[in-house]
Amino acid sequence: MFTDKESFKQAYLSKVIEGDGTTVDEATQWDKFVALVALLKEKMSHHRSTNKKSMSQGKQVYYFSMEFLIGKLLHNYLVNFKLEEFIREGLLELNINLDDLLEQEVDPGLGNGGLGRLAACFLDSMAFLGIEGHGNGIRYKYGLFEQKIMGGNQVEVADNWLKNGYPWEMRKPDKAVVIKFKGTVRTELNEGKISFLHENYESVLAVPYDVPIMSYDNPLYINNLRLWSAETICGDLDLACFNRGEYKQSISNKSEVESISYILYPDDSSPAGRELRLKQEYFFVAAGLGSIVRSYKKRNGSGSLHNFSRRVSVHINDTHPVLCIPELMRILMDEEEMGWDEAWNITVNTVSFTNHTIMPEAMEKWSIDLIKSLLPRILQIIEEIDRRFKEDLIARFMDEDEVIRNTQIFKDGYIWMAHLAIIGSSSVNGVAQLHTKILKNEVFKDYYRVFGYKFNNKTNGVNHRRFLLAANPKLSHLITEAIGPYWKEEAGELKKLLVYKDDHSFLEQLAYVKYENKCRFAEVVKHKQGLLIDPQSIFDVQVKRIHAYKRQLLNVLKIMHLYNEAMNDPESLTGSHTFIFGGKAAPNYHYAKIVIKLIHALSQKIEHDPRVNQKLKVVFIENFNVSQGELIYPAADISEQISSASKEASGTGNMKFMMNGALTLGTLDGANVEIKEAVGEDNIFIFGLTAEKVLDYTRNGGYKSWDEYHVNSDIRTCVDQLNCGFFDNMGEEFRVLFDSLMIYNDEFFILKDFHSYLEMHDKLQTLYRNKKEWNRISLVNIATSGRFSSDRTIREYADWIWKIRYRTVNKGINSH
């Protein structure tokens, strides 16, 4: 196995020939990329096999998630293995630019936003901490979609990310699992024991594809992300069917089966779409648990599963994998012949659950009829869980109808998945302190009375090795020069940077790094979208999924206001501003698509107005994804975290910006509250209603958007501009936004928060002129961001939820 530049070059040359039979000079960039990946994979499995004996045989954690937004892997793995430098040099001596090869990799279409990215950060931290923690998900053939902008509109193009193949994955056909859908359940009485026989079902083969997860400087722990793909049982075609001449039938069976892992988020506005989504959920749950039980038996002897919950933790990321609960019950009872009570004990003690949202429309529920036809045995088990739960509950809360009513799994013909998750797991966590408080006191307050001991908080974190060390090499270098390299292992070490907060020369270097990152980003925008942005201007950035509660509209109204002000008084604008937006709108979410259109209309309006176009600029970054994020977060001056308080469970973008020295302009929502605690109130720019006030308005009324409109001429001007031909060639386009504010009473308090938002933005605008003070605050943000590393989050999960040990990292020689 290669260990230095020379042996690498040798190994690489033979890898290229092996791959394609061509020499390096003839090989395509793709071939050269694939060869490098193959070589790294070999190096990893070499590490793994030589170190097998030292691998622990402790508890295994399985993280079930519908999404893993992992981003590109090659660069991170080179950084993690500390190989980048000599591989870059070695390749250069072969006339190959490493950056060209890195360009070849595509972002896997395996997630769509914060939830999927969190799962990916957790995989890294588990591997780093030496936890045997594996991901379990779906190998979607197509991702959400690739976003293109045409004429200011979002256009969705199929995200065919697997088109050239994915060299990191390894297909494991011998580890396939058979999944059963539909059919009937027959009960049989044998010697006083009832057994349940699932018959006339349709089988689907789940075939795993494994992706190796390796973290920083820890080659002993290479974990596994197992992604399941749906195939027909008998290989390519139903041959019997085919031979009978029923060609169409046999091909349509095949495509029906394969549709299960065809695409992330099938459009669920039709009944057929909903059925497919439910199939996906059961598919990866049943496949995952099937393979976990199989490997458990291999590790622990093929005896019984009595000790299962001591050796296995199954964590479910939101409710999408909640069928883990009835499915594990099914395995333990129907296949392992356990009684209900023992199976229930094991299940509850194995499963833990993270809740991600309090938005009522995002609470998952499934029609009973659908579950009945698709998963008849699972429905029986859920019914029995419900029956027993109610029995206990009535004994405890006899006179409290409300508790009993609000904790039902079955309601109005639907099964409430969050309720099943709370009842069937040992831990229920929120993702930031504020969010957990709202879960306990509002959303699940009755469950909190029943199961108070299950509720806990685990504030989210992000992988600081991806979003700082790898994504921002210049800043990383500066940090390491100042405080040594140990922060890479222990993000809390960043605190040591605080001694530089009044060091003039250090602060100037910090500012210069920011400037270089802005130039890097500007280059990419120019190259990809042909847009020119000025790296000397303030980069004011809001990148995240487009959603009403995230209030991109508030940001747009602010820019419209700045424009209006500049028309009246050209001196009102100080400095030059680049407002950067990015994010996808769900394909059937009309409001969000119109917000994208508005951003583009405003961008055009400003661009064509010579009175302001030197001072204001609005750009929309196409197809925001992890790779784009890795360029944008390090380049931002201002981080816009402006959700309507109480609505953003945690946010993780806020943490990535902070780590890279952006100043937060935000509401007291999600983890912003804890960012404020960490950084100190003078170093964050908070505005708007508190969560308490928002919840109070929502419950008791008392807010009228018309009042804000009438009292306030600034607001009136901007709001009217949505509706009066202010934007060229726009008919009734923005009427839906106007209506959301004025007819539907501004559900997210945009007008209510407008002025305090403007005030804080103005304060930042002024502060930006005081370079020294700005840089000091930027440094304090970086220095205090350590607690938002997902290493901290995963240590908390390990200590309190999974009850599992992890490695402690030795302090580097540079620390005391």
Q: Cβ distance 779 to 497 under 8 Å?
A: yes
**Residue range at the interface with ligand PLP (CB under 6 A); choices 286-294, 353-361, 649-657, 696-704:** 649-657
Q: Where are the beta strands (DSSP E) in 508-607?
A: 538-543, 577-582
Nearer to ligand PLP, 67 or 132 (CB): 67
Residue of closest CB approach to ligand PLP? 653
294 is catalytic: no
Instruction: Identify the residue among 280, 459, 625, 660 touching ligand PLP (CB under 6 A).
Output: 625
User: Could you tell me if 441 and 448 are in contact, meaning their C-beta atoms sit under 8 angstroms apart?
Assistant: yes
Q: Which is nearer to ligand PLP, 223 or 790 (CB)?
A: 790
Q: Which of 125, 476, 652, 683 is the binder for ligand PLP (CB under 6 A)?
A: 652
For the bound state, the minimum distance from the C-beta of residue 583 to ligand PLP, rounded and expressed in Å, comes to 8
Q: How far is the CB of 705 from ligand PLP (least distance, A)?
A: 25
Q: What are phi and psi of 311, to 5 degrees?
A: -110, -10
Tell me which DSSP letter residue 584 carries. P
- Region from 59-67, 621-629, 674-682, 706-714 binding ligand PLP, contact rule CB under 6 A: 621-629
Coarse DSSP helix, strand, coil percentages of the chain, rounded to the nearest 5 percent:
55, 15, 30
Catalytic residue (choose from 47, 117, 139, 356):
356
CA distances from 239 to 249, 253, 254, 722 (A): 11, 11, 11, 60
175 is catalytic: no
Contacting residue, 279, 544, 593, 787, with ligand PLP by CB under 6 A: 544
- 479-488 long-range contacts (CB < 8 A, ≥24 apart) are 479/782, 482/506, 483/814, 484/812, 484/813, 484/814, 484/815, 485/812, 485/814, 486/811, 486/812, 486/814, 486/815, 487/786, 488/216, 488/217
Q: Which of 550, 558, 615, 776 is catalytic?
A: 550
Q: Residues 654 to 673: which contact ligand PLP by CB under 6 A? A: 656
Nearer to ligand PLP, 562 or 642 (CB): 642
| CA distances in angstroms from 651 to 202, 360, 646, 647, listed in the order given | 41, 18, 12, 10
Q: CB of 291: closest distance to ligand PLP in angstroms?
A: 29
Coil, helix or strand at residue 270: coil
Instruction: Indicate the SS3 state at residue 154.
Output: strand
Catalytic residue among 47, 134, 440, 544: 544
Catalytic residue among 141, 514, 656, 761: 656
Binding track, positions 102-131, relative to ligand PLP; x by CB under 6 A: -----------xx--x--------------
Q: How many residues bind ligand PLP (CB under 6 A)?
A: 12
Binds ligand PLP by CB under 6 A, chosen from 152, 326, 653, 786: 653
For ligand PLP, the closer CB: 420 or 438: 438
Q: Is 656 a catalytic residue?
A: yes
Report the nearest approach of ligand PLP to the CB of residue 553 (Å): 16
The answer to whether 62 touches 21, Cβ cutoff 8 Å, is: no
Q: Which of 381, 546, 626, 635 contacts ligand PLP by CB under 6 A?
A: 626
The single residue among 133, 208, 629, 688 that binds ligand PLP, judged by CB under 6 A, is 629
Please say which residue, 228 or 581, places its beta carbon nearer to ligand PLP: 581
Q: Smallest gap, in angstroms, from Cβ of residue 282 to ligand PLP?
A: 27
Q: Which is nearer to ligand PLP, 359 or 404 (CB)?
A: 359
**Cα(441)–Cα(449) distance, integer angstroms:** 10
The question of whether 652 is a catalytic residue gets the answer yes
Q: In the complex with ligand PLP, which residue's Cβ is closer, 156 or 696?
A: 156
Q: How far apart are CA 512 and CA 500, in angstroms?
A: 15
- Piece of the chain touching ligand PLP by CB under 6 A; list 177-185, 415-423, 624-632, 699-707: 624-632
Query: Looking at 161-169, 183-191, 386-394, 651-659, which segment touches ligand PLP (CB under 6 A)?
Result: 651-659
Q: At its nearest, how many Å lie between ligand PLP and the CB of residue 629?
A: 4
- Token pair recorded at residue 292: 């976990």
Strand-strand pairing, 577-582 and 538-543 = parallel
The residue assigned the tokens 């605008």 is 765
Minimum CB–partner distance for residue 773 and ligand PLP (Å): 26
Q: Could you tell me the smallest distance in angstroms from the CB atom of residue 112 to ligand PLP?
A: 8
Backbone φ and ψ of 264, nearest 5° = -70, 135
Question: Which tokens in the block code for residue 482?
Answer: 């100042």
Run of H or E residues at 764: helix 750-767
Binder among 651, 661, 688, 786 for ligand PLP (CB under 6 A): 651
Q: Closer CB to ligand PLP, residue 113 or residue 430? A: 113
- Residue 356 beta carbon to ligand PLP: minimum distance, rounded to whole angstroms: 11
Of 476 and 672, which CB lies nearer to ligand PLP in the complex structure? Answer: 672
Cβ 114 to ligand PLP, closest distance in Å? 3
In the bound state with ligand PLP, the residue whose beta carbon lies nearer, of 430 and 653, is: 653
Q: What is the CA radius of gyration of the chain?
A: 27
* Distance separating alpha carbons of residues 147 and 163, to the nearest angstrom: 17
The smaller minimum CB distance to ligand PLP, of residues 113 and 634, is found at 113
Is-contact 307 345, C-beta < 8 A?
A: no
- Which CB sits closer to ligand PLP, 378 or 649? 649
Binding window for ligand PLP (CB under 6 A); candidates: 355-363, 551-559, 618-626, 752-760 = 618-626
Q: Could you give the string, one character per residue 500-539, with x where binding to ligand PLP holds by CB under 6 A and - elsewhere? A: ----------------------------------------
In contact, 577 and 768? CB cutoff 8 Å: no
What secondary structure, in 3-state letters, does 635-664 show? HCCEEEECCCCCCCCCCCHHHHHHHCCCEE
Which residue among 652, 664, 667, 784 is the active-site one? 652
Q: Mask of contacts with ligand PLP, 200-219, x by CB under 6 A?
A: --------------------
Note whether 461 binds ligand PLP by CB under 6 A.
Answer: no
Q: What's CA 627's distance to the chain center, in Å?
A: 13
The C-alpha atoms of residue 794 and residue 123 are separated, in whole angstroms, by 9
CA angle 410, 413, 418 (to 5 degrees): 40
* Alpha-carbon distance values, 188 to 193, 198, 200, 334 (Å): 8, 11, 16, 12
- Cβ at position 467, least distance to ligand PLP in Å: 8
SS3 labels along 184-243: EEEEEEECCEEEEEEECCEEEEEEEEEEEEECCCCCCCEEEEEEEEEECCCCCCCHHHHH
Residue 437 has a CB neighbour count (10 Å cut-off) of 17
Q: Which residues bind to ligand PLP, rule: CB under 6 A?
A: 113-114, 117, 544, 624-626, 629, 651-653, 656
Residues with catalytic annotation? 356, 544-545, 550, 652, 656
